[in-house]
Copies of this chain bind each other. A is one copy, B any other.
Amino acid sequence: MQDNKEKEQEIFMVRTDLAVEAKESFEEDNVEIKGVIIDESYKEEQDIKITRVVIENENGAKAMGKPMGNYVTLEAPNMVVPDQDYHREISKELAEQIKKLIPLEKEVSVLIVGLGNREVTPDSLGPNVVENLLITRHVVREYGKEALGKNKVNIISGIVPGVMAQTGMETLEIVKGVVDETKPDYVIAIDALAARSTKRLNRTIQITDTGINPGSGVGNHRNGLNLESLNVPVIAIGIPTVVDAATIVNDTMENLIDAMEQTKELKTIGGTLKTFDANEKYQLIREIISPHLNGMFVTPKDIDETVKMLGFTISEGLNMAFS
């Protein structure tokens, strides 16, 4: 979870780390965006919905509030169920998607970065993933590939940089230092994301070749982990485990308007609210949101078991892709 100042500023906008949700907000308005290509498929046997969003140009990037690149989403409603066989299927699908982004004919070296705070349960996804990885770099360097009994061995290293309150450093500073020193071919960053809707929590994996881009992601790559800042391609894998508390209130507002529309006595009121433009809505919500909600998040009570399980599913996917 990113905790930079920008986030607070856009708290009343369509705030989501998921391209698939950014896309939906346009679909609601029946708007088609130039420069954004969407492709959906469904694997019935595994009950996994795969959505590929390609942001082709700056116009699309501006509209979506996300940098140009590929965003693949795996949606699996049963991902919260602790069924080992089912999670193996998800890991396999994740491995397939990773292989589409990283050509593995030749050996590659990959640094896997577990973002987030291991002491805050819903934010511990990244650290959890790195704990379960098959790390090979030190073995190959010390004993050669033969030690692992294979002809082709990908060089996997991992790091859990911690969060700024614990280190005093930005994640980028730590990761850039390590990348400059160890020169991996690729960085894969794992992070817990913020979703817009509670119904997507812990049920969606997003894989993107644009890296991690806090804030709107457009025009501000300063603190992100991406090709521009690290000089190697960065793939980001994330699962939404929290919703910003302010988003919940925003949703309520929307629901209220809809509810009013449909309630006889309230139709006039709902209608009135509906005529508000974005700015007026913003002003109204600003007034009714408690200032204490900034920096708060919403998460399920059983998040401990869910994060542990999802962390394992992602690490297995990575282990499958690279072994």
A window 135-150: CB within 8 A of B:
135-139
Is residue A219 within 8 Å, beta carbon to beta carbon, of the partner chain?
Answer: no
Asked whether, in the complex, the Cβ of B245 is within 8 Å of the Cβ of A3, the reply is: no
Is residue A107 within 8 Å, beta carbon to beta carbon, of the partner chain?
Answer: no
Given contacts A166-B158, A253-B252, contact A298 B296 (CB under 8 A): yes
Interface flags, A244-271, vs B, CB<8A=1, else 0: 0100110111011011000101101100
Given contacts A3-B301, A121-B121, A296-B300, contact A165 B288 (CB under 8 A): no
Asked whether, in the complex, the Cβ of A1 is within 8 Å of the Cβ of B288, the reply is: no
A142 to chain B, nearest CB (A): 8
What residues on B are CB-neighbors of A266 within 8 Å? Answer: 272, 284
Asked whether, in the complex, the Cβ of B272 is within 8 Å of the Cβ of A265, the reply is: yes
A199 to B295, CA, bound (A): 12
Partner of A300, one of B156, B176, B263, B295: B295
Interface flags, A84-101, vs B, CB<8A=1, else 0: 000000000000000000
Interface flags, A293-322, vs B, CB<8A=1, else 0: 101111111111100000000000000000
Is residue A292 within 8 Å, beta carbon to beta carbon, of the partner chain?
Answer: yes
Is residue A279 within 8 Å, beta carbon to beta carbon, of the partner chain?
Answer: no
Interface 9-residue window, one of A34-42, A68-76, A178-186, A205-213: A178-186
Partner of A249, one of B138, B159, B252, B287: B252
Partner of A165, one of B199, B265, B302: B302
Give the number of chain A interface residues (Cβ < 8 Å).
77
A165 to B174, CA, bound (A): 19
Is residue A198 within 8 Å, beta carbon to beta carbon, of the partner chain?
Answer: yes
What residues on B are CB-neighbors of A176 within 8 Å? Answer: 177, 181
What residues on B are CB-neighbors of A251 within 8 Å? Answer: 290
Is residue A157 within 8 Å, beta carbon to beta carbon, of the partner chain?
Answer: yes
Is residue A14 within 8 Å, beta carbon to beta carbon, of the partner chain?
Answer: no
What residues on B are CB-neighbors of A161 within 8 Å? Answer: 159
A289 to B166, CA, bound (A): 36
Q: Which A residues form the contact surface with B (CB < 8 A)?
A: 1, 3, 117, 119-121, 123, 130-131, 135-139, 155-162, 164-170, 173-174, 176-182, 197-199, 201, 245, 248-249, 251-253, 255-256, 258-259, 263, 265-266, 268-269, 272-273, 284, 287-290, 292-293, 295-305
Can you offer 14 A-B residue contacts whose CB atoms are under 8 A? A123-B301, A157-B168, A158-B166, A158-B167, A173-B181, A177-B180, A198-B290, A198-B292, A245-B248, A248-B290, A248-B293, A249-B249, A263-B284, A298-B298
Q: A158-B168, A169-B182, A255-B290 are in contact. List 20 more A-B contacts (CB 8 A).
A: A119-B121, A130-B166, A137-B168, A138-B167, A138-B169, A158-B166, A159-B161, A159-B167, A174-B178, A176-B181, A177-B180, A199-B290, A252-B252, A266-B272, A269-B273, A295-B300, A295-B301, A296-B298, A297-B299, A299-B299
